[in-house]
């Protein structure tokens, strides 16, 4: 058992199902305070957050992450109890092992090692930790960033510990993410008897041509860092359940994952233009989960790429694939943001696990990044 694995097991054993923290942040704060960090506990509504800083001036390198985990599902389906960290054939099993308590442990140990060797490092090291990343994400990182902005406290470089790797730790860095724009659409018709369609107006039939056009639309071509914007319907609901009733409304939920080639406003305008073209009577509710962001190059990317090469011996790939992360709240402040963590093959699954040695490697990578930027 290395210090990284011991700490990872301690964190995994805490039942911090979102938005619960279950004492994880207090444990982290105690370790950080012991090496000179000033810790600030920020609770917003049901969410615990930690902002910790070491140093008084200069650029801020921030480790960002979350202590909350997704629900386990039926625990009887797990090979080992999800909150009883267990080693099986070199793999550490437990909810949060990969997403992302393993990363948090690696961050803490990396800082302890770095500070011991470089007590007078340049700049500042910070931690921004929340307990609501897996939930609505309304009282966590976004609120802490708002507080920091009010104080004009600017993060320069941010490393989010999300599990970014594909087959081996360090093979992929997320240096950006697509934006996410959701839509709740109601198309109105006139309910009636199916035997008298001339006395009704079927909203499903009315909407179908517009849906076909939306699905066939080429929104953009992407760019060197992002794939083309995608439109996906996730839910359609209509009708009374009877076979002889034309419904009065159809409810549709869809989502755009969009690149930096487009803006939220452009997507909304183009979508509504298609709906209007088909003379639909509709209500629409747009919800933006996050803007796209990109750190194409710069000191942070260079430091991370070099650290992975040194400590893991591999050439990493830069990628913007996948879902959203809390990096979407930090990047708009002007910070360079990357995501770097262990292999993501089992995240959110039954029997979530991570190769134990990967967490030790990850800790060394994190420490080397600190050396490259602040030593």
Q: Which residues contact 217 (CB under 8 A, 6 or more apart)?
A: 231, 270, 274
Q: What angle do CA 335, 142, 361 make, to 5 degrees?
A: 60
How would you classify the pairing of strands 317-319 and 60-66?
Answer: unpaired
Q: Which helix (H) or strand (E) holds 177?
A: strand 176-177
- Closest to 217 measured CA to CA, from 206, 231, 207: 231
pLDDT of 72-125, one tens digit each?
999 999 999 999 999 999 999 999 999 999 999 999 999 999 999 999 999 999
Three-state DSSP at 302 gives helix
Rounding to the nearest 10 degrees, give the CA dihedral for residues 161, 320, 165, 61.
Answer: -30
- Closest to 78 measured CA to CA, from 93, 68, 58, 96: 93
pLDDT at residue number 296: 87
pLDDT at residue 233 greater than cutoff 90: yes
How would you classify the pairing of strands 353-355 and 336-339?
Answer: unpaired
**Catalytic residue of the set 48, 113, 133, 339:** 133
Distance CA 207, CA 187 (A): 7
pLDDT at residue number 41: 98
pLDDT at residue 323 greater than cutoff 90: no
Distance CA 99, CA 209 (A): 41
pLDDT of 281-315, one tens digit each?
999 999 998 889 999 899 999 999 999 999 999 99
Is-catalytic flag, 133?
A: yes
Supply the DSSP string of 52-71, one letter for each residue.
EEE-SSS-EEEEEEE--B--
Supply the DSSP string of 197-213, one letter for each residue.
GGGSB-HHHHHHHHHHH
Provide the token pair at 319: 């990628």
Distance CA 351, CA 348 (A): 9
**For the stretch 118-156, what's the b/e string if a residue is b when 16 or more beta carbons lie within 10 angstroms of its beta carbon?**
eeebebbbbbbbbbbbbbebebbbbbbbeebeeeeeebb
**Catalytic residue of the set 20, 21, 48, 68:** 68
pLDDT at residue number 127: 98
End-to-end CA distance of the chain: 28
How would you classify the pairing of strands 336-339 and 157-160?
Answer: parallel
pLDDT at residue number 290: 87
pLDDT at residue 322 greater than cutoff 90: no
Distance CA 338, CA 51 (A): 19
Distance CA 58, CA 40 (A): 19
Distance CA 101, CA 347 (A): 11
- Closest to 100 measured CA to CA, from 362, 341, 371, 323: 341
Q: If you average pLDDT over every residue of the chain, what do you get?
A: 97
Q: Which helix (H) or strand (E) holds 158?
A: strand 157-160
Tally Cβ neighbours within 10 Å of residue 197.
Answer: 12
pLDDT at residue 324 greater than cutoff 90: no
pLDDT of 10-68, one tens digit each?
999 999 999 999 999 999 999 999 999 999 999 999 999 999 999 999 999 999 999 99
Is there a contact between 206 and 280 (Cβ–Cβ < 8 Å)?
A: yes
Which letter does DSSP use for residue 227 in this model?
P
Length of the chain: 375
- Closest to 176 measured CA to CA, from 333, 321, 345, 362: 321
Distance CA 184, CA 68 (A): 28
Distance CA 143, CA 1 (A): 36
pLDDT at residue number 97: 98
pLDDT of 128-162, one tens digit each?
999 999 998 999 999 999 999 999 999 999 999 99
pLDDT of 21-30, one tens digit each?
999 999 999 9
């Amino acid at each position: 058992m290395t210090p990284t694995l011991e700490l990872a097991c301690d964190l995994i054993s805490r039942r911090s199902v979102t938005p619960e923290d279950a004492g994880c942040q207090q444990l982290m704060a105690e370790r950080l305070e012991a090496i000179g960090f000033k810790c600030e506990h920020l609770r917003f509504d049901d969410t615990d957050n930690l902002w910790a800083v070491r140093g008084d001036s200069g650029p801020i390198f921030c480790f960002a992450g979350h202590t909350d985990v997704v629900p386990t599902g039926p625990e009887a389906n797990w090979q080992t109890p999800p909150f009883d960290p267990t080693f099986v054939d070199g793999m550490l099993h437990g909810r949060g092992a990969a997403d992302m308590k393993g990363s948090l442990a690696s961050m803490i140990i990396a800082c302890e090692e770095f500070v011991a060797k470089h007590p007078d490092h340049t700049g500042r090291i910070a931690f921004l930790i929340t307990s609501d990343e897996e939930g609505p994400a309304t009282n966590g990182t976004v609120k802490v960033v708002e507080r920091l902005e009010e104080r004009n406290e600017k993060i320069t470089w941010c490393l989010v510990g999300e599990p970014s790797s594909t087959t081996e730790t360090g093979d992929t860095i997320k240096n950006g993410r697509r934006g996410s724009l959701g839509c709740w659409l109601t198309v109105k018709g006139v309910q009636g008897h199916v035997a008298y369609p001339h006395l009704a107006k079927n909203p499903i039939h009315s909407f179908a041509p517009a849906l076909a056009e939306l699905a066939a639309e080429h929104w953009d071509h992407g760019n060197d860092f992002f794939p083309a914007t995608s439109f996906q319907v996730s839910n359609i609901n209509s009708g009374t359940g009877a076979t002889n009733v034309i419904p009065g409304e159809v409810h549709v939920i869809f989502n755009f994952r969009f690149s930096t080639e487009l803006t939220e406003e452009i997507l909304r305008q183009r979508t509504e233009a298609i709906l209007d073209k088909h003379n639909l009577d509709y209500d629409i509710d747009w919800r933006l989960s996050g803007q796209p962001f990109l750190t194409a190059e710069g000191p942070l990317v260079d430091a991370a790429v070099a650290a992975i090469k040194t400590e893991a011996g591999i050439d990493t790939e830069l990628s913007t694939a996948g879902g959203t992360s809390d990096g979407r709240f930090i990047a708009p402040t002007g910070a360079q943001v990357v995501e770097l963590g262990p292999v993501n093959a089992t995240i959110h699954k039954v029997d979530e696990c991570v190769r134990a040695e990967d967490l030790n490697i990850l800790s060394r990578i994190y420490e080397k990044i600190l050396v490259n930027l602040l030593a």
